[in-house]
Chain A
Amino acid sequence: DAKTTQPPSMDCAEGRAANLPCNHSTISGNEYVYWYRQIHSQGPQYIIHGLKNNETNEMASLIITEDRKSSTLILPHATLRDTAVYYCIVRSLYSGGGADGLTFGKGTHLIIQP
Chain B
Amino acid sequence: DARVTQTPRHKVTEMGQEVTMRCQPILGHNTVFWYRQTMMQGLELLAYFRNRAPLDDSGMPKDRFSAEMPDATLATLKIQPSEPRDSAVYFCASGLGGSQPQHFGDGTRLSIL
Question: Which A residues lie at the B interface, using CB under 8 A?
Answer: 32, 34, 41-46, 49, 51, 93, 95-98, 100-106
Choose one: A46, A98, A104; the contact of B59 (CB below 8 Å).
Answer: A98
**Contact at B101–A43, with CB atoms within 8 Å?**
no
**Contact at B45–A102, with CB atoms within 8 Å?**
yes
A42-B106, A101-B35 are known; give 9 further A-B pairs, CB within 8 A: A32-B99, A43-B107, A44-B91, A49-B101, A100-B33, A101-B33, A101-B48, A101-B56, A102-B93
Decide if B52 is an interface residue (CB 8 Å cutoff).
no
Q: Which residues of B contact A104 (CB under 8 A)?
A: 42-44
- How far apart are the CA atoms of A65 and B107 in the complex, in Å? 34
Q: How far is the CB of A27 from chain B (nearest CB, A)?
A: 14
Q: Which residues of B contact A41 (CB under 8 A)?
A: 106
Choose one: B33, B56, B91, B102; the contact of A46 (CB below 8 Å).
Answer: B102
Q: How far is the CB of B100 from chain A (nearest CB, A)?
A: 9
Question: Which B residues lie at the A interface, using CB under 8 A?
Answer: 4, 31, 33, 35, 42-45, 48, 50, 55-56, 58-59, 91, 93, 97-99, 101-107
Instruction: Give the A-B contact count at a CB cut-off of 8 A.
Output: 63
Main secondary structure of the interface of B (DSSP, over half): strand
Choose one: B42, B58, B103; the contact of A106 (CB below 8 Å).
Answer: B42
